[in-house]
Chains A and B, each alone.
Chain A
Amino acid sequence: MDTILILTQALNGLQLGVMLFLMAAGLTLVFGIMNLINLAHGALYMAGAYLAAAAYGWTGSFLAAVALAVAGTAALGAAIELAALRGLYRRDHLDQVLATFGLILFLNEAARLVWGPAALFVPVPAALAHTVAILPGVPYPAYRLAIIAVGVAVAGGLYLLIARTRLGMLIRAGASNRTMVAALGVDVGLLYTAVFALGAGLAALAGAMAAPILSVEPGMGEPILILTLVVIVVGGIGSIRGAFAGALLIGCVDTIGRAFLPSMLRAVLAPSASAAVGPALASMLIYLTMAVVLALRPRGLFAARTG
């Protein structure tokens, strides 16, 4: 267990963390502001990945593919919000879970119908298909560094959007008192559609950026949805800052746990026991983290003031 390996795994954790943040930002806003549990958020990530793969096929440009995937999924999100979710805000959470679970089945099946059951592959863009020496003699894939950079930049942009713009003020105001926002002349329905589309676009950005490092296939959104749910609970539902902190924490705990926990156990347990326990414990680590965070701070790391 040397420092180079630790550094590499820390970067991997960071990269997973920013992906999770892109997912969590939309999910936490939608839950915090509209009080909607959207299980189909992972399916929007999948939609982003598929649209990126398809757009890459048409245009041959990865940048164009990402842009089209984000725009297309944001539009898809707006359409889903208008057609299917509008009526769910006032329903209880179980109805929302059932309805959005139905959306998952629908979108997975739609992807299978359009693109077939086999996985699609998207190449890493040529300009980033090399490695960068993060330390002398320590190579790291440039593409993964680019993901981290994009994620951090989007986090900054989102912070500015929420903190500095009229839209951001309305999002925060709507989270604390939607009736008053409407009574002052703001179309809250439109605001909700915009927030949902924004969240869908961010999920699509994560999906599109994941396309070259994962296989694009039906159901690819569900594993990351589970992690994202853990992230927003750890971070504090409704809080963007919480989503950021929670995403980095969960990304690093998951990555580093999987990389090092089995070998650490070997130091204290018999080889056969550690081989049996190690991987299981590593995959449970994020849930243990969540339990510890919730025991210390029942409303998450950054309990949102936004309601």
Chain B
Amino acid sequence: MTRPLLEIAGVDAFYGASQALFAMELAVAEGSAVALIGRNGMGKTTTIRAMLGLVATRGGAIRFRGTRIDRLPPHRIARAGIGLVPEGRQIFPNLTVRENLVATAAGRRAAGPAWTLDRVYGLFPRLRERQGNMGDELSGGEQQMLAIGRALMTGPLLLVLDEATEGLAPLMRREIWSCLARLKGEGIAILVVDKDLGALARLCDRHFILERGHCVWSGDSAALLAAPEVPHRYLGLGATPQ
């Protein structure tokens, strides 16, 4: 494994008095894809929020490219090279598609060539057709593409996607997965939360399973596929990778 791009080591996170993460462990190697897996409410989104400084952490350390980021404000963390595609997409509804892409763009450090509007439109031609529409006039799938494009426009080394295929039609899901494979091929590291174990096993190099705020299992795709009782135990019946 190459040196970790992102490393979360022994981190606790809290919402007020209630603890949501317990000595969380996670690592993403440069250019690799990592899955964060678990049932609803197990702490996947909280892990992402902790990483971006959106929820307070105690203990442990979060490092990005070897530098501590766990006391930095969110905008400094993002600028270090993390592009967030959040749960629920969170498109700016009162900005056009083009403005959503441009407003927070910053050719920061992108793995590979800089992300431009043309490059994003090349990845998602649908967005070019819709570029004058307001964010809230898009379908769910289009919003998801826009959220990914918006994160890419910040020039990330690590793209973080929280339930990016949630609620999308099968065709649209396939498009998102193939887009992620392409991005990985271009050298962008990816941290992805999703429920589709088959797709995760194909895309990702490592998998981390969360159970009530603890990381209870981690391994590579071969290990995940070789141990069907693991997803069965932690994800419930029927959660076997196809």
Binding site for B on A (CB under 8 A): 166, 169-170, 172-173, 175-177, 179-188, 305-307
Interface of A is mostly: helix
Contact B108 A175 (CB under 8 A): no
> Would you call B66 an interface residue if the criterion is a C-beta within 8 Å of the partner chain's C-beta atoms?
no
The smallest beta-carbon distance between B116 and chain A, in angstroms, is 15
Interchain Cβ contacts under 8 Å between A and B, 25 examples: A169-B102, A173-B99, A173-B100, A173-B104, A176-B92, A176-B93, A176-B94, A176-B95, A179-B54, A179-B74, A180-B92, A181-B104, A182-B74, A183-B54, A184-B83, A184-B154, A185-B79, A185-B106, A185-B154, A186-B75, A186-B104, A187-B73, A305-B93, A306-B94, A307-B94
> Would you call B19 an interface residue if the criterion is a C-beta within 8 Å of the partner chain's C-beta atoms?
no
The smallest beta-carbon distance between A46 and chain B, in angstroms, is 33
* A-B contact number at CB 8 A: 67
- CA–CA, A175 and B94, complex, Å: 9
Contact A184 B102 (CB under 8 A): no
> Would you call B40 an interface residue if the criterion is a C-beta within 8 Å of the partner chain's C-beta atoms?
no
Q: Known: A173-B95, A305-B93. Is A182-B75 also a contact (CB below 8 A)?
A: yes
Q: Known: A183-B52, A188-B75. Is A170-B94 also a contact (CB below 8 A)?
A: no
Contact A177 B92 (CB under 8 A): yes
- CA–CA, A40 and B169, complex, Å: 52
The smallest beta-carbon distance between A92 and chain B, in angstroms, is 18
> Would you call B86 an interface residue if the criterion is a C-beta within 8 Å of the partner chain's C-beta atoms?
yes
Contact B94 A305 (CB under 8 A): yes
- Among residues of A, the one whose C-beta sits closest to the C-beta of B92 is A173
Q: How many residues of B contact A (CB 8 A)?
A: 25
- Among residues of B, the one whose C-beta sits closest to the C-beta of A184 is B104
Q: Known: A184-B78, A187-B75. Is A169-B95 also a contact (CB below 8 A)?
A: yes
- CA–CA, A172 and B86, complex, Å: 19
- CA–CA, A170 and B95, complex, Å: 9
> Would you call B84 an interface residue if the criterion is a C-beta within 8 Å of the partner chain's C-beta atoms?
yes
Q: Mark B66-81, 1 if CB is under 8 A from A, else 0.
A: 0000000111001100
> Would you call B178 an interface residue if the criterion is a C-beta within 8 Å of the partner chain's C-beta atoms?
no
Complex interface: chain A residues within 8 A of B52 (CB): 183
- Among residues of B, the one whose C-beta sits closest to the C-beta of A173 is B92
- Among residues of A, the one whose C-beta sits closest to the C-beta of B78 is A185
- CA–CA, A30 and B198, complex, Å: 49
- Among residues of A, the one whose C-beta sits closest to the C-beta of B96 is A169
- CA–CA, A104 and B127, complex, Å: 49
Complex interface: chain A residues within 8 A of B104 (CB): 170, 173, 181, 184-186
Complex interface: chain B residues within 8 A of A188 (CB): 75
